Chains A and B, each alone.
Chain A
Amino acid sequence: MLESLLFIIMSLITIACAIGVVFQKNPIYSAVFLIQTMVSLAVLYVLLHAQFVAAVQVMVYAGAIMVIFVFVIMLLNLNKNDMEDGKTKMPMQKPAAIILGLVLVVMIGVVMTRTIYQGAQGEYTPEVMDQIGNTQLVGKMLFTKYVLPFEIASILLFAAIVGAIILAKKQIIKEEK
């Protein structure tokens, strides 16, 4: 019962914050709402017995990634007026998008409720997981079954870092010319 209550509260917060992300005029508010969304999601992860994911969600996502966002927003020093000048080129976009979004929700709802998910049940029931420990299991999986994708992910991150540096630095060559 408590779980259901928690789910309802958290999901409502999540949805509200998500809407806030979308409709806030000021990007910094959007960022704050997004952080809140992520944190609420982390709670839901815990409800789903994914404690490690929840922790990572809070630390990496809400913490690290969103900090970059906020940092960039600050760096660019944007304010409300920057985005408001000039009329939108697509006046019909907003209502159309919202209708489309509603349709999408309905569709996903229909799909979710109609379809019966079946498949072989895995060995990691909540009980097993509680016994061994979620974190331990994740670690085991990452270094056994998923070791190759894991390493590739590191390369991806490295490439992203290099790419970001190249892209973001001042174009010295151009200025020299």
Chain B
Amino acid sequence: MLNQFGITFLDLIGFVILFPLAGTIINGFLGKRLSKSIVGYVGCAAIGLSFIVALFVLLDLLKLSPEHRVFEKEYFTWIGSGAFRAIAGLQVDPLSVVMILVVTGVGFLIHVYSIGYMHEDKSFYRYFTYLNLFTFSMLILVLANNFLLMFIGWEGVGLCSYLLIGFWFEKKSASAAGMKAFIVNRVGDFGFILAILLIFVTFGTIDFTEVFHAAPEHLQIGSIVAATITLLLFVGAVGKSAQIPLYTWLPDAMEGPTPVSALIHAATMVTAGVYMVVRCNVLYTLSPFTMTVVAVIGGATALFAASIGLVQNDIKRVLAYSTVSQIGYMFLACGLGGFITGVFHLVTHAFFKALLFLGSGSVIHGLGGEQDMRKMGALKKYMPITYITFFIGTLAIAGIPPFAGFFSKDEILLEAYTKGSLFFWGLGAIAALLTAFYMFRLLFMTFHGKSKMTKRVEEHVHESPNSILFPLIVLAVLSVLGGFLGFPTLSVINEFLAPVIGAGHHGLAHGGESHHVSSNLMFSMMGISTGIAIVGIVVAYVMYISRPELPGVIAKRFKGIYNIILNKYFVDEIYDATFVKPTLRASNILWKVVDVKIIDGFVNAVGRLTVLKSEVLRLFQTGLVRNYAFSIMLGGIIIIICSILFL
């Protein structure tokens, strides 16, 4: 496995993160002076090179036997204080390799796409700087060998997300959305930090390997500490991966440029929570309670977000809610013990959701910025390639065989049925139905039916340039083929990832994946889920193609419910009323009453009291000499009297 230089590519893992960093620095410092094309090349090359290194790393890793596929490289001590050590080091194992491949692979395509998409923008270099910085942070997140370093990446991607959502900072809604994203993420990070603290206090280290090795010996299954750690970590995951109750930032995040939505808010960053849960699967399996919580939250989010997606009219918002819903699926899988299934869905989802977002971006680009689906329609003939790729993506997410989404989603449902209960399966199945419906609703409203575009828009609607179409095609291919990674009988990904799960030889009730499931059950489940998807598609077809008046009728009949869903269950408003406003009001009270009136009032009162006393005392200072003389004499007499009386 050594090449002629005597080192493996595993040793060069640092380059995976170094290239994006270099890209960031070059574009950040020199970008203003460089031409747009150079900036674009630098940005793409950084990620492309990183992807190539990642590929070689994968190859090197495959040469090792499955049990030894863990490689750690430590660079320097980042923070060292007393017994606490945080070492900056990278860890390569199957899980992180899968992640870096997804991040750099999909990331590369989106970079390429961005060249075309953002070409008109004045701050082209700034965009690529941020994008490279994001990739850098994301890679640190997945490659980190300890919790604290992971937290750097974790917050780093949050920062980039903030910067990129607010990329068009002159738009008030964009900058507000960026801020919201960061702050909601911070709420999650609150849990993450506490989890890290608790982990250190419990295990005396924050290194992944050591923690996971020590965990089964230190903690009982179902112990409170394990539950607390995992729940706190999950709070972080909930924030980052936009689950109930912290999902509200993600739909707003669609204010950012579309490629950003595709990369950060669909394919990579938002799935970091899933990655983290899978990474810590050893801990999670120690706490059945947390697992249930994860599953319930995941399932509930899947259903809840899907229901909102049904009625949204903004093309990107539909996709955003679908992202939330799909990540809910992943958590559902993880919560039921199917960590690998979760990762598998993460990968396929990265392909098809990036594809869908990029496709929608292509549509938006073609329409000159229009995002409202009610003003689209019949785009099939104007943008054929976009249409085809988008159709593939839709089929994939709806779960039609043999597209990628089918396999992963089906496995999750299977997992839910075998390991969970009918309840979880029901959640998943209904969500799947809704997904198929709203995705095809989106497809039909956008590409089929009559054109509802305004004249001006219709005149210059066009197919997108090659730099946009190329990534679409590649991703479409991946969406078709990606599922075979986890094809039930081949199950490449299962075998590859198996060592990561339950590392430390802990007896895993959930670790074995679906091998023991009888093939009968498996195929019948496949049939059912396909059936569900088809039902959804048919309903969508009926409502939006054959009888377009139907949605209006239904909306009218169930006006109350419709309004609630259309307004996203008023969750934003509820949060505003329960958290934001009271906090601000309390702050105002603290400032204007406690600070100014009470504390400062007290201080000023002391001052005023002194002045007041002086006001009284100064009356004795008449300025009349004879008064002073009188006082002197009086004082003298008093002294004499005293001396007579007391001496």
Contact = CB atoms under 8 A, between A and B. Distances in A.
Interface of A: 89-90, 93, 96-97, 100, 103-104, 107-108, 110-111, 114
8 A-B pairs closest in CB distance: A107-B640, A104-B637, A100-B633, A103-B637, A93-B626, A110-B644, A107-B637, A89-B624
Contacts of B634: 100
21 contacts: A90-B624, A90-B626, A90-B627, A93-B627, A96-B630, A97-B630, A97-B633, A100-B630, A100-B633, A100-B634, A100-B637, A104-B633, A104-B636, A104-B640, A107-B637, A107-B641, A108-B640, A110-B644, A111-B640, A111-B644, A114-B644
A33 to B, nearest CB: 21
How would you classify the secondary structure of chain A's contact residues: helix, strand, loop or mixed? Answer: helix
Please tell me the size bucket of the interface on B: 10 to 19
Given A93-B630, A103-B637, 13 more contacts: A89-B624, A90-B627, A93-B627, A100-B630, A100-B633, A100-B634, A104-B633, A104-B640, A107-B637, A107-B640, A107-B641, A110-B644, A114-B644
Contacts of A90: 624, 626-627
B634 to A, nearest CB: 7
A105 B214 CA distance: 98
A83 B73 CA distance: 103
Contacts of A104: 633, 636-637, 640
B628 to A, nearest CB: 12
A104 B640 CA distance: 9
Interface in B47-66: none
A111 to B, nearest CB: 7
A108 B633 CA distance: 13
Nearest to B627: A90
Nearest to B643: A111
Contacts of A114: 644
Contacts of A111: 640, 644
Contacts of A96: 630
A159 B633 CA distance: 30
A107 B637 CA distance: 8
Interface string B605-647: 0000000000000000000101100100110110011001000
Nearest to B629: A97
Contacts of A93: 626-627, 630
A43 to B, nearest CB: 29
Contacts of A100: 630, 633-634, 637
Nearest to A114: B644
A90 to B, nearest CB: 7
Nearest to B623: A89
Contacts of B624: 89-90
A94 to B, nearest CB: 10
A107 B630 contact: no
Contacts of A107: 637, 640-641, 644
Contacts of A97: 630, 633
A96 B634 CA distance: 10
A92 to B, nearest CB: 10
B632 to A, nearest CB: 11
A98 to B, nearest CB: 12
A143 B633 CA distance: 37
Nearest to A104: B637
Contacts of B640: 104, 107-108, 111
Contacts of A103: 637
Nearest to B636: A104
Interface string B524-549: 00000000000000000000000000
A160 B626 CA distance: 25
A96 B637 CA distance: 13
Nearest to B640: A107
A104 B635 CA distance: 11
A97 B633 CA distance: 9
Contacts of B627: 90, 93
B629 to A, nearest CB: 9
B647 to A, nearest CB: 10
A174 B644 CA distance: 54
B282 to A, nearest CB: 94
Contacts of B633: 97, 100, 104
Contacts of B641: 107
A110 B642 CA distance: 13
Nearest to A93: B626
B547 to A, nearest CB: 105
Contacts of A108: 640
B620 to A, nearest CB: 13
Contacts of B644: 107, 110-111, 114
A19 B636 CA distance: 22
B392 to A, nearest CB: 100
Interface in B149-167: none
A107 B641 CA distance: 7
A114 B644 CA distance: 9
Nearest to A96: B630
A108 B641 CA distance: 10
A89 B624 CA distance: 9
Contacts of B626: 90, 93
Nearest to A97: B630
Contacts of B630: 93, 96-97, 100
A107 B634 CA distance: 12
A89 B641 CA distance: 29
